[in-house]
């Protein structure tokens, strides 16, 4: 994030930090921060506070910081900026807070203020790039080819990423190695089973992480949907809009949401209404929050409510009664399995028990629960690239918790967690591997 002057950005002359978009409509952001009673009950649930013990890096500290900025009492300080920049937006604090203070939303709104609500050229380019799937796909293929040609290796050796003040990019390009040249919807477009010739029971929404990186997870999800629920189709959707939302451009996020809602409307008119299934919990949580993007427009708000009511994370969609008779654990002889609850599944959507209801009866004693299964892994979207040191330390705690139950397989449901924990396991506990829930079901539990 670029350097900025907090006093300048939060000057009393600018109408700033006024509203917070929530699922119940727009709220005065000052009312939201004022609900924080400073009791500190949430502190130990916060990964950055647990790690550093710093009040400015705690939910209470962050709420007080935004409150002071609004009141004009805040002096310019890097510590204040650090408090906002280092929030993982994991939502763990809100879950433990009696008053349900939406600290992550408050922090995000303050960050948008810092970046000029996506109006600077840098943020405009960034949010446009990541929100348009076709442009994004070319950019990723280009990155992949650069890596294959050895140019990114050369840049790394010459320290170019550091010269450009983008050390996180170095991490990002390393992870681009697993990018396939053929993306998920390209792989699925010729599949005759997905033409939707009659009534459909599901619509698959291809999240960017699955589309561009973990295509095998998407293929597994689609196979399970076909096998268990019958006919369905691929939505050929845009990006969900989350990256634009996080980069500060609510307009770009709204554009992506409108396109996806229109696609859904067209599909439901051509076929019938059906659940929209995702296999990335971050994107599923964001699609469920679409109504908050349109809280100022009644018609769009109602459309978004209808759309989001159809959205289902694959981890909640599959019900034990529908699948248990198809599962056994023969292929897992001698193996131990544990579950990492992604923040956007557990804190963002309240999903935790659903996948255990499917897995426990089959895995029995092979399922070994790790401590703090819903503690953030430090991935948090681009957080791992922008806050490298904190992210690494949070990851170490996650891997310590994982290794304490000696698993062979770790199950997760968000792209960011898959990337982050894959990296952590390789470095600190290489005898275990991470798998997406769908892929795990397909590879290990589904009977032939
Ligand atoms: S966010 Fe909630 S739990 Fe945390 S200090 Fe404020 S009121 Fe207490
Ligand atoms: S959202 Fe997560 S990182 Fe941010 S204050 Fe809350 S618990 Fe801490």
Question: Which residue ranges does the chain devote to CATH 3.40.50?
Answer: 184-317, 321-445
**CA–CA separation, 231 and 191 (whole Å):** 12
Averaging pLDDT over each range in 13-27, 292-306, 420-434, which range is the top one? Answer: 420-434
Buried b / exposed e over 372-400, threshold 16 CB at 10 Å, is bbbbbbbbbbbbbbbbeebbebbbebbbe
Question: Measured from the CB, is residue 46 less than 6 Å from ligand 2?
Answer: yes
- Å from CA of 375 to ligand 2 middle: 11
From 1.25.60.10, 1.10.1740.10, 1.10.357.10, 1.10.1060.10, which CATH number describes the 6-114 domain?
1.10.1060.10
Confidence band for 18, pLDDT divided at 50, 70 and 90: low
Phi, psi of 21, deg, nearest 5: -80, 125
The DSSP 8-state label assigned to residue 366 in this structure reads: G
Give the percent of the chain with pLDDT over 70: 77
pLDDT tens-place string over residues 358-368: 999 999 999 99
Q: How many angstroms from the chain centroid is the CA of residue 267?
A: 26
User: For residue 166, what pLDDT is reported?
Assistant: 45
User: For residue 70, what pLDDT is reported?
Assistant: 78
Q: Are 105 and 66 in contact (CB under 8 A)?
A: no
- Over residues 53-60, mean pLDDT: 92
Angle at 249 between CA 244 and CA 250, to 5 degrees: 95
15: how many CB neighbours lie within 10 A of its CB? 7
User: For residue 204, what pLDDT is reported?
Assistant: 97
Q: Over the chain, what is the mean pLDDT?
A: 83
- Over residues 291-308, mean pLDDT: 88
pLDDT tens-place string over residues 158-214: 554 444 444 555 555 555 456 666 788 888 888 888 887 788 999 999 998 898 888
Sign of CA dihedral 378, 379, 380, 382: positive
Angle (deg, nearest 10), helices 59-71 and 103-114: 50
**CA–CA separation, 395 and 171 (whole Å):** 15
User: For residue 11, what pLDDT is reported?
Assistant: 42
Phi, psi of 234, deg, nearest 5: -95, 135
Reported pTM: 0.83
**CA–CA separation, 93 and 356 (whole Å):** 23
Sheet holding 409-412, edge to edge: 337-339, 409-412, 433-436
Q: Give yes or no for residue 134 having a pLDDT over 80.
A: no
Confidence band for 233, pLDDT divided at 50, 70 and 90: very high
**CA–CA separation, 92 and 101 (whole Å):** 11
β-bridge mates for residue 278, sequence order? 313
Residue 103: its H or E element: helix 103-114
Averaging pLDDT over each range in 134-138, 153-157, 374-378, which range is the top one? Answer: 374-378
CATH number given to 184-317: 3.40.50
- Over residues 376-402, mean pLDDT: 88
- Over residues 376-387, mean pLDDT: 81
Confidence band for 238, pLDDT divided at 50, 70 and 90: confident
**CA–CA separation, 1 and 166 (whole Å):** 10
β-bridge mates for residue 435, sequence order? 411
Residue ranges around ligand 1 (CB below 6 Å): 36-42, 59-60, 63, 93, 97, 99, 101, 103
Higher pLDDT, 239 or 222: 222
Contacts of 323 (CB under 8 A, 6+ apart): 224, 228, 358, 441
Checking DSSP bridges between strand 202-204 and strand 232-234, what pairing results, if any?
parallel
CATH 3.40.50 fits 321-445, yes or no: yes
- Å from CA of 9 to ligand 2 middle: 23
**CA–CA separation, 345 and 285 (whole Å):** 7
Q: From the CA of 89, give the closest atom in ligand 2.
A: 1
Q: Are 370 and 403 in contact (CB under 8 A)?
A: no
- Over residues 421-437, mean pLDDT: 95
The DSSP 8-state label assigned to residue 116 in this structure reads: T
User: For residue 13, what pLDDT is reported?
Assistant: 41
Q: Which ligand is nearest the CA of 57, by number?
A: 2
Q: Which ligand is nearest the CA of 100, by number?
A: 1
Q: Are 274 and 268 in contact (CB under 8 A)?
A: yes
Question: Measured from the CB, is residue 57 less than 6 Å from ligand 2?
Answer: no
Sign of CA dihedral 15, 20, 21, 25: negative
Question: Measured from the CB, is residue 87 less than 6 Å from ligand 2?
Answer: yes
DSSP notation for 171-204: HHHHHGGG--SS-HHHHHTT-GGGS--S--SEEE
Which residue's alpha carbon is nearest to atom 7 within ligand 1?
Answer: 36
**CA–CA separation, 427 and 399 (whole Å):** 10
User: For residue 153, what pLDDT is reported?
Assistant: 58
Mutating to test ligand 2, I would choose from 36, 47, 56, 59 the residue with most ligand atoms within 8 A of its C-beta, which is: 59
Which residue's alpha carbon is nearest to atom 4 within ligand 1?
Answer: 42
Q: Which ligand is nearest the CA of 38, by number?
A: 1
Backbone torsion region of residue 367, taken as left when φ is above 0, otherwise alpha when ψ lies between -120 and 50, otherwise beta:
beta
Q: Give yes or no for residue 7 having a pLDDT over 50.
A: no
- Å from CA of 139 to ligand 2 middle: 31
Question: Which residue ranges does the chain devote to CATH 1.10.1060.10?
Answer: 6-114
Q: Which ligand is nearest the CA of 375, by number?
A: 2
Buried b / exposed e over 132-164, threshold 16 CB at 10 Å, is bbeebbeebbebbebbeeeebeebeeeeebeee
Q: Give yes or no for residue 245 having a pLDDT over 70.
A: yes
- Å from CA of 93 to ligand 2 middle: 6
pLDDT tens-place string over residues 140-152: 666 666 665 655 5
Question: Measured from the CB, is residue 69 less than 6 Å from ligand 2?
Answer: no
């Amino acid at each position: 994030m670029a350097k900025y002057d907090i006093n300048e950005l939060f000057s009393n002359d600018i109408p700033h930090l006024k509203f917070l978009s929530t699922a119940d409509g727009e709220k005065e952001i000052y009312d939201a921060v004022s609900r924080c009673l400073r009791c500190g009950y949430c502190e130990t649930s916060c990964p950055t506070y647990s790690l550093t013990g710093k009040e400015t890096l705690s939910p209470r500290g962050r709420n007080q910081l935004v409150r002071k900025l609004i009141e004009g009492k805040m002096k310019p300080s890097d510590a204040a900026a650090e408090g906002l920049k280092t929030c993982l937006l994991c939502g763990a604090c809100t879950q433990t807070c009696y008053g349900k203070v939406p600290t992550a939303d408050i922090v995000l709104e303050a960050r948008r203020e810092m970046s000029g609500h996506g109006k600077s050229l840098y943020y405009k380019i960034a949010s446009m790039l990541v929100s348009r799937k076709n442009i994004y796909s070319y950019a990723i293929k280009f990155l992949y080819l650069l890596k294959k040609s050895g140019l990114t290796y050369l840049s790394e050796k010459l320290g170019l990423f550091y010269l450009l003040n983008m050390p996180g990019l170095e991490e990002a390009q390393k992870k681009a190695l697993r990018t396939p040249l053929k993306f998920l919807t390209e792989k699925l477009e010729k599949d005759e089973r997905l033409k939707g010739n009659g009534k459909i029971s599901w619509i698959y929404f291809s999240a960017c992480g699955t589309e561009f990186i973990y295509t095998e997870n998407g293929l597994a999800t689609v196979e399970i949907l076909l096998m268990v629920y019958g006919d369905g189709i691929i939505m050929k959707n845009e990006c969900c809009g989350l990256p634009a939302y996080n980069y500060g451009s609510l307009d770009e996020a709204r554009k992506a949401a409108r396109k996806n809602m229109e696609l859904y409307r067209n599909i439901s008119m051509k076929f019938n209404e059906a659940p929209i299934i995702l296999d990335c919990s971050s994107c599923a949580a964001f699609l469920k929050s679409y109504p908050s993007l349109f809280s100022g427009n009644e018609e769009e708000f109602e459309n978004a409510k209808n759309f989001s009511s159809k959205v289902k994370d694959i981890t909640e969609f599959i019900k034990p009664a529908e699948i248990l008779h198809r599962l056994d654990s023969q292929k897992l002889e001698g193996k131990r399995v544990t579950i990492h609850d992604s923040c956007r599944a557990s804190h963002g959507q309240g999903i935790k028990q659903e996948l255990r209801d499917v897995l426990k009866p089959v895995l029995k004693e092979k399922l070994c629960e790790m401590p703090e299964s819903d503690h953030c892994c430090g991935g948090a979207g681009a957080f791992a690239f922008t806050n490298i040191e904190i992210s690494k330390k949070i990851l170490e705690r996650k891997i310590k918790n994982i290794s304490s139950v000696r698993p062979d397989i770790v199950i997760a449901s968000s792209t960011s967690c898959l990337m982050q924990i894959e990296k952590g396991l390789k470095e600190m506990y290489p005898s275990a591997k991470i798998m997406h829930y769908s892929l795990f079901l397909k590879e290990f539990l589904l009977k032939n």
